[in-house]
Structure 1
């Protein structure tokens, strides 16, 4: 493994940091609801590990195992998220609405933070994936189905998330509900707004508004 960090490594690290920021917001929500978030946090960090430190990537990454370090951080962040959301919903299933708002609001913030011009649905898809955590690039979980000036359609070929949710007795559909809220918030707030929808479980569409 190369000892040098490249653009792709910073790209992945930034995606992890966006995802971990959601985790912290969910903990803040749980605390405000009066849940025992302190115990949850101790449990999650003890069993899975804490989020990445708030330090530059080059100061914390294992340069002898760059790929493995990043993959480990992705796996741990996914596991913590699955457990945390499942705990929140076990307290009250109606909390899904508040969690959707958390995801949507971060999507809005991410969309507004992207300053470059986006002109096509396919470009919007690529930009969205600069923020959404979807495994490592080598996982290749999506196939393009069609692309026009008005619409981009793709299919998810496999789910990288279900195992994390199954291990904590959660429902991965909750993850997709939350990510849909994020995607709609993001795509509606880049320089040219787009809409996002799903057809069934696996086919996704970004369309011009």
Structure 2
């Protein structure tokens, strides 16, 4: 079956799995807070057991199948975070820790990693829709810093459906990036609402 799949499909599925791992930790946290979100979310969007891609993908509809997996994990993230924060706004602190720690875990960077490698790692781990969405674009990049811009928000519709705040998503995402580039001794900062930068410390 894997003969029908290309590297880009495995690359995208890995990004889905990284976000799914975050969702699973959030659902564990929700149970600590007395919210039983897992049952309803699993019922509507599937469970958190993402098997190897070549074992589960519909090779007659690779693009559609992957798009469906993105929709499921995006909905689970938006709904779980929104409901937790609605119950206790202070939970944002723990949610940020979950994202930061998952950024650290997902990182293959080290103190010798270049800015270019760090930006590639961000693009390799954060889920920003399908590759054809071209949600992000590099503005400038050299050995000391990389600046990029978000041209399209592919997440807002899920947060609107969950009656959540998309700004919460981006604050959590920022923590993931900070964790991801930590080992490379890089700073991450938001220049404005849609523009971000990593740079040498």
Aligned length: 200
TM-score under structure 1 normalisation?
A: 0.90
Structure 2 residues not aligned, in runs of 5+: none
Match of 1:5 in 2: 5
CA deviations on 1:20-51 (whole Å, 9 max, x unpaired) are 01111011111122x232xx22222233x214
Distance 2:100 2:78 in 1: 18
SS at match of 2:172: helix
1:46 to 38, 43, 50: 43
Distance change >3 Å, CA 135–CA 116, structure 1 → 2: farther
Match of 2:136 in 1: 142
SS at match of 1:134: coil
TM-score under structure 2 normalisation?
A: 0.93
SS at match of 2:124: coil
Contact 2:42 2:48 in 1 (8 A): no
SS at match of 1:135: coil
Match of 1:183 in 2: 177
Match of 1:90 in 2: 86
Whether 1:103 and 2:110 are equivalent positions in the alignment is: no
Whether 1:207 and 2:199 are equivalent positions in the alignment is: yes
2:122 to 113, 120, 128: 128
Give 1:23-102 correspondences, 5 Å limit: 23-33=23-33, 35-37=34-36, 40-47=37-44, 49-51=45-47, 53-102=49-98
Match of 2:17 in 1: 17
CA deviations on 1:62-94 (whole Å, 9 max, x unpaired) are 010011101110111001100000000011011
Range that drifts further, 82-91 or 193-202:
193-202
Distance change >3 Å, CA 159–CA 14, structure 1 → 2: same
Q: How far off its partner does 1:188 sit?
A: 0.6
Distance 2:104 2:113 in 1: 15
Q: How far off its partner does 1:3 sit?
A: 6.8
CA deviations on 1:129-184 (whole Å, 9 max, x unpaired) are 11111111110012221112211111111100111001111001110111100100
Q: How far off its partner does 1:14 sit?
A: 0.9
